Amino acid sequence: MRKTLISMVVFTALLISSFLASAHIFRLHMDKTEYRPGEKIIITLEIKNTLSVEKEMDIEVTLVEENDKYPPSAWQYLLTLQPDETKNITLYNTTVTDFMVNGEYTLSAQLLDEGFILYEDEVRFTITGLPETMSINLLLSNTSNYEYIKDVFLINEGIYIGYNTSVENLTITG
């Protein structure tokens, strides 16, 4: 009988604690899904405390680019909401610049309570129109077949300049 009573008390405490972590609305919003250089990316989170008590909420945000060409980032917010209060908070606000890369991005947000994920939402967007980076290796030699690559030459010695790159159909002028 005593074990049953203790089990019921523990179950009730867990049920109440999970109820106290409630947030009825947890949605990410953005105005479009494709961005070009100079355009602003603004992503907001709409969140509502559906409880009748004040609640502190931990929100974890991550941003990743699918091809790992842009470093991933993560940050957190600690938010306190009054009973039945709704807030719209800006999680991400930036302008597309040359420091970013073309690609597919995913921003996700999670509502955490004592390490457990209660709610999660994500949005995806694309950045296009930025200059692409190109890898190129310049080759210097004193022979036209580049048998020996050099960086020191003698006076009146011929110099051949070549390159290695994965980009096709380059137009090169010199």
Token couple for 104: 């597919």
pLDDT band at 173 (very low <50, low <70, confident <90, very high): confident
Three-class SS of residue 12? helix
- Residue 174 is predicted with a pLDDT of 67
The 3-state DSSP class for residue 9 equals helix
pLDDT band at 14 (very low <50, low <70, confident <90, very high): very low
Output the CA–CA distances (angstroms, integers) from residue 129 to 42, 108, 165, 171, in the order listed: 18, 24, 22, 21
Give 51-108 pLDDT, tens digit per residue. Answer: 888 988 899 999 999 999 999 999 999 999 999 999 999 999 999 999 899 999 999 9
Residue 111 has a pLDDT of: 93
Q: Which residues contact 97 (CB under 8 A, 6 or more apart)?
A: 37
Q: What dotted CATH number matches 23-127?
A: 2.60.40.10
Where in the chain is CATH 2.60.40.10?
A: 23-127
- pLDDT of 131 above 50: yes
